[in-house]
Amino acid sequence: MAGRRMGITLPLLTFIISTVVSHIPPPLIHDCADFKTSGFFRDNNLHAQFLLFTPRNPTCAELIQANETLSMENSAFNATLDTKVIIHGFRALGTKPTWMDNMVASLLASGVVNVVAVDWVCGATAKYNQAVDNVPRLSREVVALIHRFLELGSTEGSFHLIGVSLGAHVAGYVGHHFGGRIGKITGLDPAGYKFTKTGPEERLDPSDAIFVEALHTDTDNFGIRIPVGHVDYFINGGRDQPGCPSLRNLYGYLICDHMRSVIMFINAVRGICSYTGFSCSSYQMFQEGHCRDCQMSQMSSCPRIGMRRLRVTTDVAHPTAGPGGENFTRAGDNEREYSTPEDNRVQIQVFMLTTAAEPYCAFHILLEFRLKEPKENVVTMKIQLISNDTSSKIRITVPKQTLEGRGLAAHGTALCRIDTVVLQAGSTWMSLRRRKEFSGTLCLAELPTSSRQEMVCLPDVMTFSGDEQLTHNMAGTRSRLCQRP
């Protein structure tokens, strides 16, 4: 009897194993392709190539040709998956972008997707004006590639174009060709020169995809200063990123602000930070603490970099953990939920702060100093927030004949993890000469917060004379800070 069962079981087991093995795609065998290099004295012709990465070949790029049928059909491309297309920008030194491998790996790690890296180094090197002229030419080649993918069974909504600098406008051209039916476009500090004053059809624009987001980090130099997406993140106001080197490191100084958008996007894809933006009429108003909640009549005013969709909501969001909240959607998630308001022209600009050190995750801490009585002179406070492994500084000004001054600090840990607060009165020559005494209370809250009632005030009224410094231990206040909804 046992022999009969064994005789039946072995063939059945053999059949199951052979069936399973037949569905496991074999590893690809091909030469690994890589980016070309160029130089100042090259012809500057486009010479674009497309490098495909998939779960079957995550580190060994496969060269694919849109105009070669066998190249596409025999490739590892899977039309049932979402496809991320990365398009770099101007290459001053004619080399492969140093961030490219990290971005490819991050996208593959975040979901089961196809990733295509567009190499147009030869057409983007040395002569910027020629690189600008190559933007529509490259766009036509990317369009041809996507058409081939569509023939293989992909859908327009399954594509996510990620364009850096000039590459953002290439993505815009491509999206415009498809009538805005591309699923998503992410513009990483879209190039400003030659594009700021052009019409929407010649640059990235909200109409180019179902959902368009843009990160702005260098609007006073290489990046565009106008909104170009459904959501535009003006990080640290869009310029002068903290932690960037001084003029002594000239090359780093020139590109650091511009490239900050790339680093932050990769961090968002990997889920390292949930970079949250706050809708506000201006960066100054945001810094002064006037835009602190997530209420908006038409859509969420607290979007996060890399989110799958633009939520239409009137709810008040109260993230409870992580920099701005951990309940966020990673940029690489394979599940598509792209949606926009019925009026596709609606745009919001949002602001956020970051820390000066990688990975630049920041909690937005609102501080308000309240005087016991108004003063005839301006009162200035220097405030330092200290945690176990990080600190941040902010200056708050209370205008004369008023009672309150507010400011926003970017801190590396949550408010309820702050150990010490150090306060010092302003030490200008005028304040030292007059030595006017004043007293007040410091109140704090972590954004988003919908009202002043959510602020927690330190229990002691502090009195200052001249440039005195006072230190407050937060141990007694921490329990109240950690109980916010």
Our answer to whether residue 290 is catalytic in this structure is no
Our answer to whether residue 165 is catalytic in this structure is yes
**CATH code, 49-352:** 3.40.50.1820
Contacts with 402 (C-beta within 8 Å, 6 or more apart), sequence order: 371, 374
Farthest-apart Cα atoms in the chain, separation:
106
Sheet of strand 391-398, all strands in order from the earlier edge strand to the far edge: 391-398, 379-386, 420-425, 469-473
CA distances 476 to 321, 367, 376, 385, 472, Å, are 21, 18, 34, 16, 10
* DSSP string computed for 404-423: EEEEEEEESS-GGG--EEEE
Q: Enter the DSSP assignment of 338.
A: -
**Of 332, 319, 206, nearest in space to 265 by CA:** 332
pLDDT value at residue 293: 85
pLDDT value at residue 71: 82
> Which H/E stretch holds residue 151?
helix 128-151
- Domain boundaries for CATH 2.60.60.20 within the chain: 363-481
Assigned architecture for domain 363-481? Sandwich (2.60)
- Tokens standing for residue 313: 């909501």
- Looking at residue 328, its amino acid is F
Our answer to whether residue 258 is catalytic in this structure is yes
Catalytic residue among 165, 261, 274, 392: 165
**Of 460, 376, 472, 356, nearest in space to 424 by CA:** 472
pLDDT digits (tens, 9 = 90+) for 377-398: 899 999 999 998 899 999 999 9
> Which H/E stretch holds residue 150?
helix 128-151
- Tokens standing for residue 93: 């030194």
Catalytic residue among 88, 154, 176, 189: 189
- Domain boundaries for CATH 3.40.50.1820 within the chain: 49-352
Catalytic residue among 169, 176, 230, 258: 258
Report the predicted TM-score, pTM, of the whole model to 2 decimal places.
0.86
User: Taking a C-beta distance cutoff of 8 angstroms, is the pair 158, 56 a contact?
Assistant: no
Residues of the chain with pLDDT under 50: 1-6, 8-9, 12-24, 297-299, 312-335, 341-343, 429-432
pLDDT digits (tens, 9 = 90+) for 104-135: 999 999 999 999 999 999 999 988 999 999 99
Sign of CA dihedral 66, 83, 230, 364: negative
